[in-house]
Structure 1
């Protein structure tokens, strides 16, 4: 591996709190204690989330406030794997232009959702973007589709799906008994899209080192 990539990887570990850089030449790196490293890494993730939150609020709050208040948002709380899966499949089937999906972990019903994706790609020009953990990406049967972009991300705050930037479902919890918020409202969907896009830009494209 080139030295440049080694130092880049080491600097990332320092930034995230897992290593300590010792002054001097050549540079030396020492591991932190797991307890301290986890605490620092948690602060690192929280700061990244705060940056995303700030970007979303600053960009979209003026648009939301200026939007015609006669548009009545439909917002529903959805619970259970069956209902969450059914809503995700419905959103995919109804989408006309683009679907954005963030999948933080494997869950019951994922195979059904992927089957709907595959079926939809067979007869439409739908553009699909998927963010997933390494475990999730390894299970995706969509690698060879020109209309699917997949990127890897190590840490995600929940997951969800955005359809045509006009409909969104946000997963608040996915383990054991999933809870999701679904909304068919352009301003709310735009907020979800902006957060997805923020993570997408920093995620690793599939096939890169």
Structure 2
């Protein structure tokens, strides 16, 4: 059975931090593939700086094209909004019964995981692969040494999409932080200006 890691994000835009973590997870864990799941625009949130779903998906596609273990996914675009991870996982399991799905999350998300909808169900059915993040707060003791939670010693990436967007808006060069194809796409489309 193929093990798929799911890495959720708005990827607005996807940057080398996302790619470094995704590739590290694919190469240094028992996962066979890593799907970068682009989360859709929440219709109830006014977020003018969030590019349309298809543009963010296109950037993830361009960024992952040359990495055979990384795949873009628009699976959540087809699900009703607002959506919860537990529903996405159930939907994927139904759609791909021969694959095993697991979650990838930063340590910062693990700290609030006990607040997620049906988090017990998620832990019952899926493994969670956690990468380090510098963040405040503490991890619930129930998640320490949990058999389904695996820590992967990935590099700590302190690059944010917010920083990139703000700097593009004020005409700063952020090229080194973006995969070349993504930078080109943003530049050609005049995004975040």
Structure 2 length as normaliser, TM-score? 0.31
Higher helix share: 1
Q: Determine which structure has more spread, i.e. the larger CA radius of gyration.
A: 1
Structure 1 length as normaliser, TM-score? 0.29
